[in-house]
Amino acid sequence: MKRFLLLLISIALAVSLYVCSQEKSEEKPKSKAEAAGIQLKTVAPFTYVGLKHVGPYQDHSKVIDEFLSLAEKQELNLSGPMMGFYYNNPEKVPAEKLSWMIAFEVEDTSKVKPPLETGTFQQSEVLSYLHIGSPENTAGAYHKLHEYMNTHGLQPAGAPIERFLSPHTTSAPPESLKTEIWFPVNKAK
């Protein structure tokens, strides 16, 4: 248990350092979309290791625990914030059939063994939205992102990714939780 807590604290510190190093300050006036918290970002490709799951989002804690246990046993060097890749629309797919994955960035994939799997995020353009509050309440953010896509000639180009920028604990007040949602996009044809 102490190793698990130490791992979570280490991850939180790594997330903080990573986020601080990735922020770029721009002195342009905010557009309507930026004022609403939506930005079009260019993202460098990265390699990740993840654990896929089919089932309701209420299984997050169980899947995260399983992922961290497997990553520790495989002695993987995880970096960046924990991420969730979401492959279905929960408004259209029954909870027990939702397909999603918990993942972290990783440089060395040579030690990764099943059921963990690796992948590379290649899509360079993402719509980004910073959600403050419980990660369970992001539906409104997705509606804003879809509306932005429709009005700006963009289309989805992959599964949305939630980047959990703050450690999620049961004792953390919801207003302290930050989730950056990335929605990969292309220009509509």
60 within a domain of the structure (yes/no): yes
* Domain total of the chain: 1
Domain span at residue 159 reads: 2-20+31-187
10 within a domain of the structure (yes/no): yes
Say how far apart CA 180 and CA 159 lie, in whole Å. 14
pLDDT in tens, 157-185: 999 999 999 876 667 778 889 999 999 99
25 within a domain of the structure (yes/no): no
Cα dihedral sign for 51, 57, 58, 60?
positive
26 within a domain of the structure (yes/no): no
CATH of the domain at 114: 3.20.80.10
pLDDT in tens, 15-51: 343 444 444 434 444 455 544 689 999 999 999 999 9
Query: Do 118 and 133 form a contact (C-beta atoms < 8 A)?
Result: no
100 within a domain of the structure (yes/no): yes
Say how far apart CA 10 and CA 78 lie, in whole Å. 10
Query: Do 112 and 53 form a contact (C-beta atoms < 8 A)?
Result: no
